[in-house]
């Protein structure tokens, strides 16, 4: 039984805390069998919107409880709970099988992308520029900043916030420093920029289906447009949204909401690609599922921002399984919006 439970825990390791919330919303707070659901508390990955999806997930993974470790009352209520799920599944005639976090978006209308770290592996260049320039001015007592500091202080944040973090008593100096750092970054990016693996494959998938698309970034416009041009994506994006040109930058939802407005797309039929916790929070706050790219930022930090699921890059089989299910649910392999 212990081995079976461990296998189920492994299979559920991609489910989000939102599943627990959905389950608990159906139960009494003092129900003994709530203790049996604690296993779900640390699971993450599937974006759910309704109880039907919950039931599909529970039955798909054949989730049950370790009856051997329960008292009679817990066993009785655990059995009732499982029967409840099975009854609802029968009534709704749910199709058992993979439950995609993105399938609820069908028919899909738009896909939104962050830029740095999402379209290209640019974070190492940002880190190098910050490290070298901070070293020049004796920041941190002349000790070079490390990548952990970069991820915590810099990655995904707007330059206004970075300036405040670096020079809390002199915002003007901080902004000037950030401008000079961006100039250095642009020099580096012309020679060393590399696209994320599979980005052109997902680009073709989007184009073949006539979907709307936007780049949404906290980067300065000069940086964003340069990166997009170097990657050959200038004609791919319908709009480019810059955080500083919105009322609030990420992690506020404003940039993503502005993208939806300009594209005339619905958040109910749009998802986002992001690589930073700040960006994921912005997308989630805007009401859209976010596919997180674990290109540089630690997965456990990204998961705290509640993405739908994480992928290594655009070649990840998890992504293509989700896109295939969108196609299946849409009833066609190509859809013009």
Tell me: the pLDDT tens digits for 305-328?
A: 999 999 999 999 999 999 999 999
- Which of 21-35, 62-76, 82-96 has the highest mean predicted lDDT (pLDDT)? 62-76
Query: Does the active-site annotation cover 116?
Result: yes
Examine the pLDDT at 35 and tell me if it is beyond 50: no
Virtual torsion, Cα 127, 133, 136, 139, nearest 10 deg: -70
The strand pairing partners of 66, in sequence order, are: none
Query: What percentage of residues in the chain have a pLDDT greater than 90?
Result: 43
Q: How confident is the model at residue 139 (pLDDT cuts 50, 70, 90)?
A: confident
180 membership: H or E segment, kind and range: helix 171-192
pLDDT at 83: 55
Query: What percentage of residues in the chain have a pLDDT greater than 70?
Result: 68
pLDDT at 36: 39
Q: How far apart are the first and last CA of the chain?
A: 50
Q: How confident is the model at residue 15 (pLDDT cuts 50, 70, 90)?
A: very low
Q: How confident is the model at residue 157 (pLDDT cuts 50, 70, 90)?
A: confident
Evaluate whether 212 touches 263 at the Cβ level (below 8 Å): yes
Segment 78-92 shows an average pLDDT of 50
Please pick, among 30, 66, 116, 327, the residue that the annotation labels catalytic: 116
Please pick, among 114, 121, 275, 316, the residue that the annotation labels catalytic: 114
pLDDT at 285: 96
CA distance 319 to 112: 15
Burial-class residue 33 by CB neighbours within 10 Å (0-12, 13-18, 19+). Answer: buried
CA distance 13 to 101: 14
Examine the pLDDT at 190 and tell me if it is beyond 90: no
The DSSP symbol for 49 reads -
CA distance 123 to 154: 10
pLDDT at 337: 41
pLDDT at 235: 97
Query: Does the active-site annotation cover 327?
Result: no
pLDDT at 89: 44
The DSSP symbol for 244 reads G
pLDDT at 266: 97
- Output the six-digit token pair for 227: 């990166």
pLDDT at 216: 98
Examine the pLDDT at 129 and tell me if it is beyond 70: yes
Q: How confident is the model at residue 97 (pLDDT cuts 50, 70, 90)?
A: very low
pLDDT at 315: 96
Which of residues 118 and 46 earns the better pLDDT score?
118
CA distance 150 to 118: 17
CA distance 53 to 194: 38
Mean pLDDT in the chain? 77
Q: How confident is the model at residue 75 (pLDDT cuts 50, 70, 90)?
A: low
């Amino acid at each position: 039984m212990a081995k079976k439970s461990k296998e189920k825990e492994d299979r559920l390791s991609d489910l989000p805390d939102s599943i627990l919330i959905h389950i608990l919303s159906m139960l009494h707070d003092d129900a003994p069998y709530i203790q049996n659901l604690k296993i779900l508390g640390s699971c993450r990955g599937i974006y759910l919107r309704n109880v039907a999806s919950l039931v599909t997930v529970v039955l798909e993974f054949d989730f049950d409880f370790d009856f051997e470790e329960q008292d009679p009352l817990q066993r009785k209520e655990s059995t009732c709970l499982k029967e409840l799920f099975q009854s609802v599944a029968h009534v709704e005639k749910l199709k058992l099988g993979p439950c995609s976090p993105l399938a609820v978006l069908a028919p899909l209308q738009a896909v939104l992308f962050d830029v740095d770290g999402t379209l290209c592996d640019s974070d190492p260049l940002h880190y190098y520029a910050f490290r070298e320039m901070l070293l020049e001015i004796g920041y941190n007592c002349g000790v070079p900043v490390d990548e952990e500091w970069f991820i915590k202080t810099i990655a995904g944040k707007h330059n206004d916030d970075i300036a405040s973090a670096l020079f809390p008593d002199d915002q003007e100096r901080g902004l000037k420093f950030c401008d000079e750092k961006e100039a250095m970054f642009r020099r580096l990016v012309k020679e060393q920029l590399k696209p994320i693996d599979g980005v052109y494959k997902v680009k073709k998938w989007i184009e073949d289906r006539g979907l709307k698309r936007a780049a949404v970034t906290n980067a300065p416009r000069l940086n964003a447009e340069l990166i997009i041009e170097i990657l050959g994506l200038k004609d791919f994006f319908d709009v480019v949204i810059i955080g500083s040109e919105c009322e609030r930058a990420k992690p506020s939802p404003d940039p993503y909401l502005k993208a939806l407005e300009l594209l005339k797309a619905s958040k109910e039929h749009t998802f986002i690609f992001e690589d930073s916790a700040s960006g994921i929070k912005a997308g989630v706050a805007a009401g859209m599922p976010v596919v997180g790219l674990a290109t540089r930022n630690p997965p456990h930090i990204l998961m705290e921002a509640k993405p739908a699921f994480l992928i290594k890059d655009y070649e990840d089989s998890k992504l293509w399984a989700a896109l295939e299910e969108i196609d299946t649910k849409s009833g066609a392999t190509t859809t013009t919006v």
